[in-house]
Amino acid sequence: DIQMTQSPSSLSASVGDRVTITCRASQSINRYLNWYQQKPGKAPKLLIYAASSLESGVPSRFSGSGYGTDFTLTISSLQPEDFATFYCQQSYSNPRTFGQGTKVEIK
Amino acid sequence: QVQLQESGPGLVKPSETLSLTCTVSGDSISAYYWSWIRQPPGKGLEWIGNMYYSGSTNYNPSLKSRVTMSLDTSKSQISLRLSSVTAADTAVYYCARDGSWRGYYTFDYWGQGTLVTVSS
């Protein structure tokens, strides 16, 4: 199985801050990397696919980058509705695997 | 608009079989793979497996011996059966569509999830 490791596991930030979350794969996954946002009691929501493509309807303050084993999710200016847990997920091979999550909290 | 709705018992006894159904509306069930994903309370996400309308399945090796998925195109339903459950199988179970863009697969539509508790 491909292991996905996110860092940090949690972070505190203020509205307007630039936030970066990293995700590392245990082997190269090309660009087969997706990012999801999950709010309490809700299903995850797709934000970014193929490492850097923005899902339709997702605000442009979200962006993704990376290739191979190292990836980042950036929120350019954190908004109140962005406080949530974020997960990376690889679709390079089965079983599909997720990172452990990064919880973004209000400072 | 694509909608997915999970249904099934919220409580299952240890050693018994968990059975859930996902009903899809707003899209053809025959055009995609469909996945089951679970999330234990307060923890991360685990992919259980997926199924295509042709009958092709892919299961997570960690659960493969206990998982069966099936699909009923006439009812637009995908089913999950997980046998010999223990407390470790307590989780919110989601069904999701395996969307694809130029060969890049995503979980682009999700059900709201259903909590299944394993307890006597």
pLDDT digits (tens, 9 = 90+) for A31-41: 999 999 999 99
Supply the pLDDT for residue A20.
98
For chain A, give percent helix, strand, coil, nearest 5.
Answer: 5, 50, 50
A98, A5 Cβ separation under 8 angstroms: no
Instruction: Work out the percent of chain B whose per-residue pLDDT is above 90.
Output: 88
Give the closest of B47, B96, B112 to A97, CB-based: B47
Instruction: Work out the percent of chain B whose per-residue pLDDT is above 70.
Output: 100
Supply the pLDDT for residue B31.
85
Average pLDDT over every residue of A58-67: 98
| Per-residue pLDDT at A8 exceeds 90 | yes
| Cis preceding linkage at A8, omega within 30 | yes
Alpha helices in chain B (DSSP H): none
Give the closest of B60, B61, B108 to A46, CB-based: B108
| Per-residue pLDDT at B24 exceeds 90 | yes
| pLDDT tens digits along A75-98 | 999 999 999 999 999 999 999 999
Residues of B in Cβ contact (< 8 Å) with A2: none
Instruction: Work out the percent of chain A whose per-residue pLDDT is above 70.
Output: 100
Strands B33-39, A45-49: parallel, antiparallel or unpaired by DSSP?
Answer: unpaired
- Does any CB of chain A come closer than 8 Å to the CB of residue B1? no
| Per-residue pLDDT at B96 exceeds 90 | yes
